[in-house]
Amino acid sequence: MDRRTVLKGLAGASGLALTGGLSAPAIAQGAAARTLRFVPQANLANFDPIWGTQYVVRNAAAMVWDTLYGVDSSLQPQRQMVESEEVTDDGMTWTFKLRSGLKFHDGEPVLSKDVVASLTRWSARDPMGLMIKALQQELTAVDDRTFKLVLKQPFPKLLYALGKNNSPCAFIMPERIAQTDPFKQITDYVGSGPMKFAKGEWVPGAKAVFEKFADYAPRQEKSSWLAGGKQMLVDRIEWVVMPDPATAAAALQNGEIDWWENPIADLVPVLKKNKNISVDIGDPLGNVGSFRMNFLYPPFNDVRARRAVLMALSQEDYMRAIVGDDTALWRPLPGYFTPDTPLYTEVGGEILKGKRDLDAAKKLLAESGYSGQPVTCLVAQDQPITKAMGDVTADLLKKLGMNVDFVATDWGTVGSRRAQKTPPGQGGWNMFHTWHAGADCINPAPYTAIRANGDKAWFGWPTSAGTEKEVTSWFEAKNLDEEKATINRLNKAAMDDVVYAPTGFFLSYTAWRKNVSGITKGPLPFFWGVSKSA
């Protein structure tokens, strides 16, 4: 073997690896204006919206799969794939008829059997779906376009459940795909939505591509969130995953991308100065910051210790730590439900209002019997929101005289450790931080975090009989007035028992190039109605 042989071999091997299997479609110059390049909030690591409940999966899935109903911007479910529905006077038998002309991306018609299989799979994973499943007596296809749902008792929130935008949505898939075990991923991504998923171009962690579905039959109504006519004005949408916000900001300024879903607050001033970029609030439903205390072990098994923390907690400190000094991005939240939505209430939230009373909080903490034992506080450092909140909480607890065991870790570890019910010194915990999408906090249906049924509740396992009673009442409420009255009582009960500590309500921006138009505010990026000029 001589030097030349070695060099030739290396060059050959390199060239093979560089050119093979990596081809991506070249986009013609003229097609650039028909291609929208979008930076999503996170990596599209899987593409099964029932199996994987991450928001980013839901956001992509909303283009590819359609729903029977769609919730509009007034949070009301509107017909989407459904043409009409009938319900018996007792509210227990629903008969639905599908619109004619609906087709899947493989050219097959959408039939009732597809709906039955899809709803069956969805109802195994979705909290509202599980409730429907528990009440379900029969779900059958009557003919190709008609299907029937018979319940054991009325479920007034049925249409909302079928059209909600909370993950997992009730997406309709072909029967052969929907028959997949709900705890296993699908591998075929055929839907009937306005865009097709280009599976061959998918590079998880880097890129996902969606192409316009020519045979999609949009409704005639104006689009509003998941409802109305989903008119696609671009032919191709490329999702480009960018883990580094500074890179995404530079790429947007440079015109290499068209729309960045959620720029971080620190970079927004730079983007606002650029004359080619528009910046606005993306999701008016925002997010609710939270930390949860473990009801199983001292000190937070005593409601006085939980209340003491709430008495001393300054939501402004938390919000400024998360979003900085932009006051347009946050507001205090003396309650559990999303501001500016029909059920928002502050009843019972007095404990979070007004000047913070540290002395009274210390006194109440002492009454709870707290005597200096370590308080294990889990803080994920790789999530800017939880890191910011964790630092504020550590300071708060120290001011209260608590002995803080600050566990700085990553989100994956928090996710695993928070499920441990063992005592804090043996792998368990006393508190952890998280946040909830405001869209999940508009009512109790998708709001797992508000549930307080002890062992069956979300991490922290809160017990609050008053809260649970009102959750049940809300599901039975017949109109908005009844719902509001129920939520007032629910909010008070949850605040009294401190189901969790809300740290405030915060919003985030979205940013796009000015040659892009039609972007609307909503809980997810809606691509219908969005166009791009050259």
Partner 1 sequence: MLSYILRRIVATLPVMAIVALFVFSLLYIAPGDPAVVIAGDQASPEDVERIRQSLGLDRPFLIQFGSWVWRILHGDLGTSIFTNLPVSTMIGQRLGPTLSLMIVTLLLTIVVAVPLGVVAAWKAGSLIDRVIMGFAVFGFSLPVFVVGYMLAYIFALELEWLPVQGYTPLAQGFWPWLENLILPAVALGCVYIALIARITRATMLEVLQQDYIRTARAKGLGQGGILFVHALKNAAVPIVTVIGIGIALLIGGAVVTESVFAIPGLGRLTIDAILRRDYPVIQGIVLLFSFVYVLVNLMIDVIYTLVDPRIRY
The least CB distance from residue 181 to partner 1, in Å, is: 7
Q: In the complex with partner 1, which residue's Cβ is closer, 190 or 251?
A: 251
Can you spell out the DSSP letters for 489-501? HHHHHHHHHTSSE
User: How far is it, in rounded angstroms, from Cα 260 to Cα 250?
Assistant: 11
Q: In the complex with partner 1, which residue's Cβ is closer, 4 or 355?
A: 4
Positions in the binding site for partner 1 (CB under 8 A): 1-3, 6, 14-15, 17-24, 26, 43, 45-46, 48, 51-54, 125, 127, 167, 181, 183-185, 187, 203-207, 240-244, 246-248, 250-251, 253-254, 256, 382, 409-413, 415-417, 419, 434, 436, 440, 446, 448-449, 456, 458
Question: Which residues partner with 27 through β-bridges?
Answer: none
User: How far is it, in rounded angstroms, from Cα 140 to Cα 149?
Assistant: 7
Alpha-carbon torsion (103, 105, 108, 114), positive or negative: negative
Q: In the complex with partner 1, which residue's Cβ is closer, 54 or 531?
A: 54
Q: Helix, strand or coil for residue 435?
A: strand
Helix or strand (DSSP H, E) at 319? helix 315-323
Length of the chain: 534
The least CB distance from residue 166 to partner 1, in Å, is: 8
Q: In the complex with partner 1, which residue's Cβ is closer, 229 or 415?
A: 415
Q: In the complex with partner 1, which residue's Cβ is closer, 14 or 515?
A: 14
User: How far is it, in rounded angstroms, from Cα 334 to Cα 118?
Assistant: 39
The least CB distance from residue 26 to partner 1, in Å, is: 6
Q: In the complex with partner 1, which residue's Cβ is closer, 46 or 301?
A: 46
| Residue 19 one-letter amino acid | T
Query: What are the distances in angstroms from CA 184 to CA 56, 178, 179, 196?
Result: 18, 11, 10, 22
Q: In the complex with partner 1, which residue's Cβ is closer, 186 or 311?
A: 186
Tokens of 299: 């000190």
The least CB distance from residue 185 to partner 1, in Å, is: 4
User: How far is it, in rounded angstroms, from Cα 419 to Cα 379?
Assistant: 15
Q: In the complex with partner 1, which residue's Cβ is closer, 53 or 341?
A: 53
Q: In the complex with partner 1, which residue's Cβ is closer, 52 or 335?
A: 52
User: How far is it, in rounded angstroms, from Cα 489 to Cα 466?
Assistant: 8
The least CB distance from residue 205 to partner 1, in Å, is: 5
CA 179 vs. chain centroid, Å, equals 25
Instruction: Give the residue among 300, 337, 354, 314 at the shortest CA–CA distance from 497.
Output: 300
The least CB distance from residue 12 to partner 1, in Å, is: 13
* Percent of residues in the chain assigned helix, strand, coil, to nearest 5: 35, 20, 45
The least CB distance from residue 202 to partner 1, in Å, is: 8
User: How far is it, in rounded angstroms, from Cα 394 to Cα 3?
Assistant: 62
The least CB distance from residue 167 to partner 1, in Å, is: 7
The least CB distance from residue 176 to partner 1, in Å, is: 17
**Nearby residues of 363 by Cβ (< 8 Å), 6 or more positions away:** none
